[in-house]
């Protein structure tokens, strides 16, 4: 439960609009966001390796919006998977067409959910095993 609360505070409460709007375009907002996000985990661990994994993975997942690649890969299991060319899915990992993919607003939220699952999974394994 503590891990979930730290994730929510770090990813939503401590992230300014400037960070959220610019972290996928520039390193500095992504770095500051990842640092503020990670510092709370000092309440749960003193392991420098766990802290480094949480910080570095958070930086890269957010800076390069890596969740969209996970979404894109999982969508290959769909009936229209063979049509999932990256150029048609690069925004969220879902097809940009509302005809075959989810509506645009839903695609964004589904990608955000995938992003949260990635962070929570990495945090769990870092805190448990490192």
pLDDT digits (tens, 9 = 90+) for 103-112: 999 999 999 9
Q: Determine the structural domain holding residue 94 and report its residue range.
A: 2-129
C-alpha pair distances (Å), 120 with each of 46, 92, 96, 126: 18, 19, 27, 10
Residue whose token pair is 């996000």: 37
Higher pLDDT: 101 or 10? It is 10
Q: Which residues contact 102 (CB under 8 A, 6 or more apart)?
A: 94, 110
Neighbouring residues of 93: CB distance < 8 A, sequence distance ≥ 6: 67, 68, 69, 70, 71, 72, 73, 74, 75, 107, 111, 114
Mind listing the pLDDT tens digit for each residue in 73-98? Answer: 988 887 766 667 888 888 999 888 76
Are 44 and 2 within 8 A, CB to CB?
A: yes
What is the pTM assigned to this prediction? 0.91
Q: Helix, strand or coil for residue 31? A: helix
What is the domain count for the chain? 1
Q: Which pLDDT value is given to residue 13?
A: 97
Q: Which pLDDT does position 87 carry in this prediction?
A: 87
Write down the pLDDT at residue 22: 98
**Average pLDDT, integer, range 38-56:** 97
């Amino acid at each position: 439960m503590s891990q979930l609360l730290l994730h929510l505070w770090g990813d939503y409460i401590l992230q300014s609009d400037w960070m959220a709007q610019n972290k996928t375009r520039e390193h500095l907002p992504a770095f500051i966001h990842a640092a503020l996000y990670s510092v709370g985990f000092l309440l749960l661990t003193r392991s420098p390796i766990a802290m480094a994994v949480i910080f570095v993975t958070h930086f890269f997942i957010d800076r390069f919006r890596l969740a969209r690649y996970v979404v894109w890969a999982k969508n290959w299991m769909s009936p229209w998977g063979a049509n999932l060319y990256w150029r048609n899915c690069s925004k969220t990992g879902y097809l940009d067409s509302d005809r075959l993919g989810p509506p645009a607003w839903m695609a964004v939220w589904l990608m955000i959910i995938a992003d949260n699952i990635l962070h929570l999974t990495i945090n769990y394994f870092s805190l448990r095993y490192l």
